[in-house]
């Protein structure tokens, strides 16, 4: 059974899984398959998938980014505060993205040039960043997103007769760009080379510091984008809004078949992984489980899924 499963491409397996969960939900929960429910899940999965773009890139390169939730919170609060203070949104968005990317670039550069585990560096800068944001707003951020950002991500939004907000088609374009960038650009191929074998990649003229710097900057950039979109989604700013995304981005990437050893996987899998997670959470909540139990069940499910198809090689196979 697990051997047969192992032969299905990971993104396909994850997508089938999402579908299966959906069908189970429809069978067990009244009103699960309604249009509104599906739209809500699509929007939530899309937000997660955007936050997980960076985690995917970073994990392919052989790293991990723990600063994503903190950067989401930073962007969420900063955008609200600045826009609330009257700064035009056309200035706010680039500013927030630029600051986030600078922090990400620092993470990548320090990790790669000094050979420090990115887990520690991103944790350190992320914690400091969150503290700074909270200090600035005294823990009570004010402000909101412009109304067009809100309608851009609104679950009830629609594009003419199509009942989805603009977020969905925009994301499809973004996803296509990410997938093409990974597969067809010099940057993308170098990412896989570094993740597969950093020493060999360096000797094949891939500059690790440069690639890590760019990749962590992108990761922080997409996290910041998620933070701004979440501001539109929830209406009010909250410095800890990103917290669930720490575990969820990693889980979406791993369920999608990108392994933490680096060099393998892709963004299509992450999208499928994000769908899986949101479907599963929605079904569990729909079944009446309280949030802590939903969390516990998710933990078990992730381990079970990875045990089926994401196992590492035995040390004897590495010799």
Q: What is the CA radius of gyration of the chain?
A: 20
Residue 211's nearest CA partner among 186, 229, 235, 230 is 186
CB 251 within 8 A of CB 277: yes
Identify residues 239-268 at the interface with another protein (CB under 8 A).
Answer: 247, 250-251, 254, 259-261, 263-264
Identify residues 182-211 at the interface with another protein (CB under 8 A).
Answer: 184-187, 189-190, 192-193, 196-197, 199-201, 203-207
Judged by beta carbon, residue 144 or residue 294, the one nearer another protein is 294
CB 65 within 8 A of CB 219: yes
CB 74 within 8 A of CB 100: yes
Judged by beta carbon, residue 95 or residue 181, the one nearer another protein is 181
Backbone torsions φ then ψ of 46, nearest 5 degrees: -65, -45
Residue 291 sits in the site that holds another protein (CB under 8 A): yes
Give how far Cα 72 sits from Cα of 146, 261, 289, Å: 18, 25, 27
Least Å from the CB of residue 304 to another protein: 8
Residue 294 sits in the site that holds another protein (CB under 8 A): yes
Identify residues 81-140 at the interface with another protein (CB under 8 A).
Answer: 110, 113-117, 119-121, 123-132, 134-135, 139
Judged by beta carbon, residue 59 or residue 153, the one nearer another protein is 59
Least Å from the CB of residue 89 to another protein: 26
Burial of 86 (0-12, 13-18, 19+ CB in 10 A): exposed
Identify residues 32-71 at the interface with another protein (CB under 8 A).
Answer: 64
CA 193 to chain CA mean position, Å: 22
Residue 256's nearest CA partner among 17, 5, 7, 39 is 17
Least Å from the CB of residue 227 to another protein: 18
CB 234 within 8 A of CB 241: yes
Least Å from the CB of residue 135 to another protein: 4
Residue 45's nearest CA partner among 277, 306, 253 is 277
Judged by beta carbon, residue 42 or residue 71, the one nearer another protein is 71
Least Å from the CB of residue 208 to another protein: 11
Judged by beta carbon, residue 26 or residue 308, the one nearer another protein is 308
Judged by beta carbon, residue 40 or residue 294, the one nearer another protein is 294
Least Å from the CB of residue 311 to another protein: 5
User: Coil, strand or helix: which one is 131?
Assistant: helix
**Candidate segments 8-16, 149-157, 166-174, 288-296, binder of another protein by CB under 8 A:** 288-296
Least Å from the CB of residue 288 to another protein: 13
Q: How many chain residues bind another protein (CB under 8 A)?
A: 74
Residue 233's nearest CA partner among 88, 50, 65 is 50
């Amino acid at each position: 059974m697990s051997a047969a499963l192992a032969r299905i491409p990971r993104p396909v397996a994850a997508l089938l899984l999402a579908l299966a969960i959906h069908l189970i939900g429809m069978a067990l929960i009244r009103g699960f398959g309604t249009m509104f429910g599906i739209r809500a899940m699509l929007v939530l999965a899309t937000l997660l998938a955007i936050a997980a773009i960076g985690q995917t890139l970073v994990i392919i390169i052989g790293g991990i980014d723990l600063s994503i939730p903190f950067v989401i919170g930073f962007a969420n609060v900063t955008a609200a505060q600045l826009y609330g203070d009257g700064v035009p949104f056309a200035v706010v968005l680039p500013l927030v993205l630029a600051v986030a990317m600078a922090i990400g670039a620092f993470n990548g550069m320090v990790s790669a040039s000094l050979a420090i585990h990115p887990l520690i560096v991103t944790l350190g800068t992320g914690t400091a960043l969150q503290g700074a944001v909270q200090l600035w707003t005294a823990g009570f951020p004010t402000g909101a997103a412009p109304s067009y950002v809100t309608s851009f991500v609104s679950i009830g939004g629609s594009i003419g007769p199509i009942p989805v907000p603009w977020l969905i088609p925009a994301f499809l374009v973004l996803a296509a760009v990410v997938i093409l960038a990974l597969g067809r650009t010099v940057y993308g191929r170098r990412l896989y080379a570094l993740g597969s074998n950093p020493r060999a990649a360096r000797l094949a003229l891939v500059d690790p510091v440069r690639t890590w710097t760019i990749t962590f900057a992108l990761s922080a950039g997409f996290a910041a984008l998620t933070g701004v979109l979440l501001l539109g989604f929830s209406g009010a700013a909250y410095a800890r809004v990103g917290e669930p995304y720490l575990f969820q981005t990693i889980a979406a990437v791993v369920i999608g078949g990108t392994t933490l050893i680096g060099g393998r996987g892709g963004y299509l899998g992450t999208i499928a992984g994000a769908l899986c997670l949101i479907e599963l959470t929605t079904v569990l909540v729909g079944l009446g489980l309280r949030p802590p139990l939903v969390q516990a069940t998710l933990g078990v499910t992730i381990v079970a899924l990875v045990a089926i198809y994401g196992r590492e090689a035995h040390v004897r196979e590495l010799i």
